[in-house]
Amino acid sequence: MKKNYFLFLILGIIVLLFTGCATLNLNAHSDNITNSKDGNIDVDTLLNEFINKIDTFEYYQNQLIVGYTNDEAFDELKRYLKAFEEGIIEFEKDTKVALLTLNISVKDALLKLKTYNDFDGIRYIEPSIKRYLPDYEIIESRNDLKISREGTLESFEDPYNPYWDEQWGLKKVRADEAWQKATGKNVVVAIIDGGVDASHRDFMNSFVDGYDPVTESIIKSGESRSYDPHGTHVAGIVAANKNDHYGIAGLAPDALIMPIPIFQPNFIGDFYVAKGVKWAVDNGANILQNSWGGPGFSNVLKDAFDYALKNDVVVVVSTGNTYIDENWGFPNTIPGVIGVGSSNVNDEISTFSSRGDSVSVVAPGEKILSTVPGGWTYMQGTSMASPFVSALAALLLEKYPDATPYQIRKMIENSAVDVDEINGFSKNDGYGRIDAAAALNEQLPEQKGAKFVINFTDSKERFFIPNVYVSLIRENGPNYYARSLIDGNIAFYQIDPDIYDIIIGGPDYLDPYSPNYRMEEQVGYKFNAYRIHDGEATVFQELVSTFSATFEKPSAEGTYKIIISDVNSEANTVYSLNQELTIYKPDYLQFYIMADVEPSLEFPEPIYSYNFDDDSLDEWIVGGDVHPYVEDGYIVLGGGQLQDNELSKLSKDFDLPDATYGYKLNFSLKVSSEEGWDYFKLYIDDNLVYRDSGEKDWYSVSVPISEGNHTVTFSYEKDGAASEGYDTAYIDNIEIVQLPEDYMDYAINCTININNYSIEITHSLYDGDIIDGIDGIDAWFTTF
């Protein structure tokens, strides 16, 4: 899938930071694809194919999330995208995230960013992924219960709640015994969900102020914002009042609910969730209760939950209802959170409950009666199990107010009742089904939890390296999996101090934000039996590449040079190529390998050549909304007459005779357009093979074209919005030249050895000066 590299060219917009705040330029290219040997490359297809990768997940159109460290850089990017800033989160000084609203699609924005050069101070740019409440099942609507039970509220059985019999989950976790020691008093649980019906009579004095991250408004204590009954149901499991002769009891009946509605009723987006998390942490939340999630890693959510964990706020997440034992899903796989699966009245793991390393414990999750607006309803899912654990965390925090999230998790895990056939931790039930009474008998663990961070740089410690993946694997207990962010950090907050094998690899060449194009450029390390200690620790790991390249001089006479050109500066190193040349790892992170020959190559006489000097079109066919015309000896496409969403095009058919190596289509081009929006395009047989935009003075373009019948079309295409420049492309000196029979005589054979992998490349200088071994793009090499 070498075409995939094109994606990185397009999406490689994330910036690696110099330790001196300088920036790598991952985006120095135009979209010239003349390196291809295939004249039929369909650029649109390529672009769509690669950008479609983001279609693996649903995301919000017209929104981008931008992490940044420099306000001016952000403002410049915003201007370039003509985007509107919807909000900003500042997690820490110089660590900010913004949500941008676009006038164009996310894909178009990513395409447009391809021609943007100044990412200094930008940490990441990502689409805003859509997420869902897990498929919770409303088993039975019980809104009428309120009425039918009104007459029987004078129950005096402990705990004085009429629905005690139906709350099997409370009995299973021995809530009545736990309540002798704690009820969650003064502990604040942020319900990050679909809002809460605060008017429900099962919540009396149960609230603190909440926050609507979208409107940036405070939800006053006791104010109802219920967008989805799921949120009220979850809140009831946590903190419905007990001993009130009414309805149900929550496991932490005196805990305080902080509503953070993120489903209103649709998901509000990762950015606003992060904003809600930030607000909750900053405004006194002790526990973040999350019964939602799904596939799709998010930098901004990782930032947000790391912020919580770093600030000793407990994060509880449902593990999902997919049944399968697997280790992906977000945010439940963030190291340090408490992942919760589901069990039933018979202490069996629910069939739907997702398995995996992220399962810390299981809790009652089947047929759970709890509050909904207007009454009570049974629901089931890990969504219902998670709030039991949040409530238990609240009980423990009442008893141990200074406990860290790790200590809370360990007390919950250590007291859990094994409900599968495997003693201790298993991916099925984690450490078992929670037992609230037993948990409250636990002593506070002496260890406070590891906050272990690995920082990845290149071997010279000049660049932070993202998308390095790390596995922390151990004999007993769950493993942790993560990848480095743009700042080169992988944070494992609130994890178990233990002995791990640490396995490191990357950067993942498939990730659009990685610096490298090739798997061969990835490196790997393994540290066996590494002890991660209790407390905070940051370790640094340099990635080190090996590299050498050997070049053979082509058979044709000439003076050859090999040029190693730094992608991120003007620096380059020039070598003479006499017979054979071997070079070693240059002092550049990313570099082009280029070749040059003197005297310059001359193509044969063209089989077609026309310069429009006679002001005729030479049987070129005009088309589009505004017809091209000849002026002063060149073709003019577009012009002031062109309106939004219109085009101007010129076509001609060619029947090219057999040729061993095919042909080149050469022409001169000048463009004056709104950069990144309005384009000159070249099609061969309806396949887009070249395009450009912006203010470009005359320059030469050369694209391959194969033998046989072809239709060549030049087009200027305007988008549906504003204009800049003259909305015009100018063409001159069109010629088709057969690649000469000495095409291979000017081929350089080279062997690139990277990290003990060998890449063999044969590159004819007739195809351009950049040697990369990849069709369709000019790709730099990356060494660490």
CB of 719 to another protein, least distance (A): 25
Per-residue x/- mask for another protein, residues 344 to 363, rule CB under 8 A?
A: xxxxx--x------------
CB of 608 to another protein, least distance (A): 35
481 binds another protein (CB under 8 A): yes
User: 593 phi and psi, to 5 degrees?
Assistant: -105, 120
763 binds another protein (CB under 8 A): no
55 binds another protein (CB under 8 A): yes
Q: Which residues of 83-107 are buried (b: 16+ CB within 10 A; e: fewer)?
A: beeebebebeeeebbbbbebebebb
525 binds another protein (CB under 8 A): yes
Between residues 126 and 312, which has the closer beta carbon with respect to another protein? Answer: 126
Which of 87, 295, 477, 768 touches another protein by CB under 8 A?
A: 295
29, 200, 230, 763: the catalytic one is 230
Q: Is 769 a catalytic residue?
A: no
Q: Tell me how far apart the alpha carbons of residues 82 and 544 are, in angstroms, rounded to a whole number.
A: 40
Helix, strand and coil percent figures for the chain, each rounded to 5? 20, 40, 45
User: Residue 103 carries which DSSP code?
Assistant: S
Q: What are the beta bridge partners of residue 651?
A: 621, 713
The count of C-alpha atoms lying within 13 angstroms of the C-alpha of 285, restricted to the half-sphere facing its C-beta, is: 31
DSSP letters of 248-312?
---SSTT-EEEEEE-BSSSB--HHHHHHHHHHHHHTT-SEEEE--BBS---HHHHHHHHHHHHTT
Between residues 82 and 146, which has the closer beta carbon with respect to another protein? Answer: 146
Which of 204, 218, 519, 539 touches another protein by CB under 8 A?
A: 519
Positions 483 through 502 that interact with another protein (CB under 8 A): 483, 501
The count of C-alpha atoms lying within 13 angstroms of the C-alpha of 629, restricted to the half-sphere facing its C-beta, is: 9
654 binds another protein (CB under 8 A): no
Closest CA to 394 of 600, 639, 188: 188
Between residues 168 and 530, which has the closer beta carbon with respect to another protein? Answer: 168
Positions 162 through 191 that interact with another protein (CB under 8 A): 165-166, 168
User: 178 CB contacts (<8 Å, ≥6 apart)?
Assistant: 251, 392, 395, 436, 437, 439, 440
Q: Reading across the β-sheet that carries 498-506, which strands appear in turn? A: 480-483, 469-473, 498-506, 523-532
R_g of the chain, CA atoms, integer Å: 31
Query: 46 in helix, strand or coil?
Result: helix
- Strands 95-101 and 59-68 turn out to be antiparallel
User: Residue 56 carries which DSSP code?
Assistant: G
116 binds another protein (CB under 8 A): no
CB of 362 to another protein, least distance (A): 16
Which of 524, 604, 633, 640 touches another protein by CB under 8 A?
A: 524
CB of 415 to another protein, least distance (A): 21
DSSP letters of 179-248?
TTT---TT-EEEEEESEE-TTSTT-SS-B--EEETTTTEEE-TT--EESSHHHHHHHHHHH---SSSSS-
130 binds another protein (CB under 8 A): no
474 binds another protein (CB under 8 A): no
With both helix axes pointing from N to C terminus, report the angle between 405-414 and 382-399 in degrees, rounded to the nearest 10: 110
Applying CB under 8 A, which part among 23-31, 138-146, 274-282, 442-450 lies near another protein? 138-146
Which of 277, 316, 453, 504 touches another protein by CB under 8 A?
A: 504
52 binds another protein (CB under 8 A): yes
Between residues 145 and 393, which has the closer beta carbon with respect to another protein? Answer: 145
Do 39 and 684 meet the contact criterion of CB atoms below 8 Å apart? yes
Which of 90, 150, 325, 587 touches another protein by CB under 8 A?
A: 325
Q: Is 230 a catalytic residue?
A: yes
513 binds another protein (CB under 8 A): no
From the CB of residue 493, how many other CB atoms can be counted at a distance below 10 Å?
A: 26
Positions 208 through 237 that interact with another protein (CB under 8 A): none
31, 108, 120, 193: the catalytic one is 193
471 binds another protein (CB under 8 A): yes
User: 547 CB contacts (<8 Å, ≥6 apart)?
Assistant: 584, 585, 586, 752, 753, 754, 755, 781, 783
Q: Tell me how far apart the alpha carbons of residues 382 and 235 are, in angstroms, rounded to a whole number.
A: 14
Q: Tell me how far apart the alpha carbons of residues 122 and 118 are, in angstroms, rounded to a whole number.
A: 9
Per-residue x/- mask for another protein, residues 667 to 686, rule CB under 8 A?
A: --------------------
147 binds another protein (CB under 8 A): no
503 binds another protein (CB under 8 A): yes
CB of 102 to another protein, least distance (A): 21
Q: Tell me how far apart the alpha carbons of residues 311 and 177 are, in angstroms, rounded to a whole number.
A: 31
CA quadruple 147, 150, 155, 159: dihedral sign: positive
CB of 151 to another protein, least distance (A): 13
Number of residues that bind another protein (CB under 8 A): 62
469 binds another protein (CB under 8 A): yes
342, 383, 484, 514: the catalytic one is 383
Q: What are the beta bridge partners of residue 663?
A: 705, 738
Between residues 525 and 629, which has the closer beta carbon with respect to another protein? Answer: 525
Between residues 74 and 378, which has the closer beta carbon with respect to another protein? Answer: 378
44 binds another protein (CB under 8 A): no
Applying CB under 8 A, which part among 238-246, 339-347, 661-669, 745-753 lies near another protein? 339-347
The count of C-alpha atoms lying within 13 angstroms of the C-alpha of 301, restricted to the half-sphere facing its C-beta, is: 29
482 binds another protein (CB under 8 A): yes
CB of 336 to another protein, least distance (A): 16
1 binds another protein (CB under 8 A): yes
Tokens of 553: 């001089």
Q: What are the beta bridge partners of residue 580?
A: 552
Which of 505, 606, 725, 773 touches another protein by CB under 8 A?
A: 505
User: Residue 520 carries which DSSP code?
Assistant: G
Applying CB under 8 A, which part among 141-149, 257-265, 603-611, 744-752 lies near another protein? 141-149
Applying CB under 8 A, which part among 33-41, 326-334, 533-541, 648-656 lies near another protein? 326-334
Applying CB under 8 A, which part among 33-41, 134-142, 192-200, 719-727 lies near another protein? 134-142
509 binds another protein (CB under 8 A): yes
Q: Is 383 a catalytic residue?
A: yes
The amino acid that residue 27 corresponds to is N
Query: 360 in helix, strand or coil?
Result: coil
477 binds another protein (CB under 8 A): no
370 binds another protein (CB under 8 A): no
Query: Which run of H or of E encompasses 363?
Result: strand 361-364
Alpha carbon of 577 to those of 93, 280, 560, 596, 776: distances in Å?
51, 63, 5, 9, 26
561 binds another protein (CB under 8 A): no
Which of 142, 302, 310, 763 touches another protein by CB under 8 A?
A: 142
Which of 18, 57, 530, 608 touches another protein by CB under 8 A?
A: 57
DSSP letters of 452-489?
EEEEEEETTS-BB----EEEEE-SSS--EEEE--TTSE
Applying CB under 8 A, which part among 231-239, 308-316, 341-349, 612-620 lies near another protein? 341-349
Name the residues that contact another protein, by CB under 8 A. Answer: 1-4, 49, 52-53, 55-57, 135, 140-142, 145, 165-166, 168, 295-297, 321-328, 344-348, 351, 366-367, 378, 467, 469-471, 473, 479, 481-483, 501, 503-506, 508-511, 519, 522-526
The residues that are catalytic are 193, 230, 383
